[in-house]
Amino acid sequence: MEIAVKNEKLKNWVKEVEQMCTPDKVYWCDGSKKEYNELMSQMEKSGMAIKLKKRRNSFLFRSDPSDVARVENRTYISTRSQIEAGPTNNWVAPDELKTTMKSLYKGCMKGRTMYVIPFSMGPIQSPIAKIGIEITDSPYVVCNMHIMTRVGKKVIRKLGKKGEFIPCLHSIGAPLAEGQQDVSWPCAPIEKKYISHFPAENLIWSYGSGYGGNALLGKKCLALRIASAMAKREGWMAEHMLILRLTSPAGKQFHIAAAFPSACGKTNLAMLQPTIEGWKCECVGDDISWMKIGPDGRLYAINPEAGFFGVAPGTSYDSNPMAMDTIKKNVIFTNCALTDKGDIWWEGMDGKPPKHAIDWKGRDWPTENKEVAAHANARFTAPASQCPVICPDWEKPEGVPIDIFVFGGRRAGVVPLVNEAYSFDHGVFLGATASSETTAANIGAVGNLRRDPFAMQPFCGYNMGDYFQHWLDMGDKLQDKAPRIFYVNWFRKTPDGRWLWPGFGENSRVLKWMCERIEDKAQAVKTPIGLLPTDDGLDMKGLNIEAQDIKALLNVDIEAWRAEIPDIEKHFAQFGDLCSH
């Protein structure tokens, strides 16, 4: 990079890391197209990237089969005392963890280039934005960061001499000995992977994985785990939330921020195509929301990211046409299948499956034992600006004012399609007790029911009990300007396993009810769990759905809810006296 770096702290840190990791070369990223193209063609030559014949400037990567998702059991919140990390986080004391990791980092970039990536989370001129510097030995990470964040000289310029940044150190943990042949997806074995956070120093150290949130450190590590701890200290919010703008036929705008656990429908809802007449939806963000109280006392949200790292399987013109149109060009695909024509494919894509493809492990597909062609956590990395329904205000420095919070999860039973909290504090209870079946976004069992409070269980950078308190405090500050809170479940099933609700674009019917509620235009039924739509409360015009299904979707089964209580009590009991204040 030609621009001179004047920030001494940054120069010193880069030097220190260079001495510890001993790369062959150090390269400062400028964020240019040229840089992206050069790295891609380098990776194409080395066999790591496959250029797709059928999609302009798009590439397919196949990860090592051991490195396909986040690793919650190798993720650490290293606060001074364990109480500060709380019962839901893995904890090792900072000194001990640093000693362990330093011995791994020692010489770990041998035979590789060390890339320095200056990036901004949030539009550079936004008062809510933060600067990070990621050091990595993965060119795949550099290219993904180009799409997911704002990278380059403009960040160095903003940083100036004395500016603050969040140091994010990443290594795939696979040094190359003299003459050693590289593999196409180098990484370290699971027991050597560490995704570590030191909130007191705003510091991130990641080792051993090249995949997603483990490696693109601006995302979960900075924008959620470190940012949530900063937000608690400074009185703002960093949440695992999509942001969308809904415009009514009368032209009134509503801004909604919704928290669902990983792979539970944020990208889909963020790009929703309403099926009800006259309503319009625009996407501001699909995964993370940073929110501050504005001068008018309302809560304003920005999307700190610049791209989407979306779940590929299940994405189709039927389920999410706007995502399909977003990924026509300039996309990085990871762990998707490759068709004979030179395009990608995954389970749930429109039309018939190809007769033959190369699966995510690089084998001929179909395989003998009928495995899936794309990994369940296969992802696309695409620029947000390519989304046809990106909101014209998605990069507005001050953000958009939030009217509605939505929580939810994936529950086959018990939880109704929608209910509204009686108050902000009741909404905090709904968020705090949110539950969902686990998905392939984390390495581990899929389909296990667990509490995932505010969809932040894997992402809260401090004691979850203190985080609940922070939510209550924000409610007190916002008072009557606080967003109204709703809870949804798109994933209800019949006993024989059929979806009760069509979901996707039809979810607009539920959002419309929320808007009518806050405008005082819709009645609600009081139930022990919250306020539900009346029998004719949801707009069902043009939707072919059996009356008994609607009844089931809006049913509050008192006995089933009573049966939840012991688990809710157990959930809260784990915080008990542990809270750190």
Catalytic residues: 264
Using the rule CB under 5 A, give the single segment among 113-121, 259-267, 321-329, 535-543 that binds Mn ion. 259-267
**Encoded tokens for 455:** 């969809």
Q: Which residue is nearest to ligand GTP (CB)?
A: 503
Using the rule CB under 5 A, give the single segment among 86-94, 159-167, 285-293, 321-329 that binds Mn ion. 285-293
Under rule CB under 6 A, residue 264 binds ligand GTP? yes
CB nearer to Mn ion: give 287 or 452.
287
Residue 247 and residue 252: Cα distance in Å, rounded? 5
Q: In what order do the strands lie in the sheet with 299-302?
A: 237-239, 289-293, 299-302, 400-401
Under rule CB under 6 A, residue 287 binds ligand SPV? yes
Tokens 């996309």: give the residue.
331
Residues 62, 335: contact at Cβ < 8 Å? yes
Cα–Cα nearest to 564, from 528, 532, 533:
528
Q: How far is the CB of 188 from Mn ion (least distance, A)?
A: 23
The 10 Å Cβ neighbour count of residue 355 is 9
Between 46 and 85, how does the x/- string for binding to ligand SPV read (CB under 6 A)?
Answer: ------------------------x---------------
**Encoded tokens for 475:** 């409610």
Residue 79 and residue 350: Cα distance in Å, rounded? 47
Under rule CB under 6 A, residue 504 binds ligand GTP? yes
| Interface with ligand GTP: number of residues (CB under 6 A) | 21
CB nearer to ligand GTP: give 115 or 394.
394
Among residues 239, 287, 395, 452, the one that binds Mn ion under rule CB under 5 A: 287
Collapsed DSSP state (helix, strand, coil) of residue 485:
strand
Q: How far is the CB of 240 from ligand GTP (least distance, A)?
A: 7
Question: Helices 139-148 and 33-46 meet at what angle, rounded to 10?
Answer: 140
Amino acid letter, 421: A
Under rule CB under 6 A, residue 317 binds ligand GTP? no
Categorise residue 465: left if φ over 0, alpha if ψ from -120 to 50, beta otherwise.
alpha
Under rule CB under 5 A, residue 452 binds Mn ion? no
Using the rule CB under 6 A, give the single segment among 15-23, 136-144, 167-175, 260-268 that binds ligand GTP. 260-268
Residues 346, 374: contact at Cβ < 8 Å? yes
- Which residues from 462-491 bind ligand GTP, rule CB under 6 A? 490-491
Q: How far is the CB of 125 from ligand SPV (least distance, A)?
A: 25
Q: How far is the CB of 452 from ligand SPV (least distance, A)?
A: 10
The 10 Å Cβ neighbour count of residue 479 is 9
Q: How many residues does the chain have?
A: 581
Binding site for ligand GTP (CB under 6 A): 260, 262-268, 286-287, 310-311, 314, 319, 441, 490-491, 499, 503-504, 507
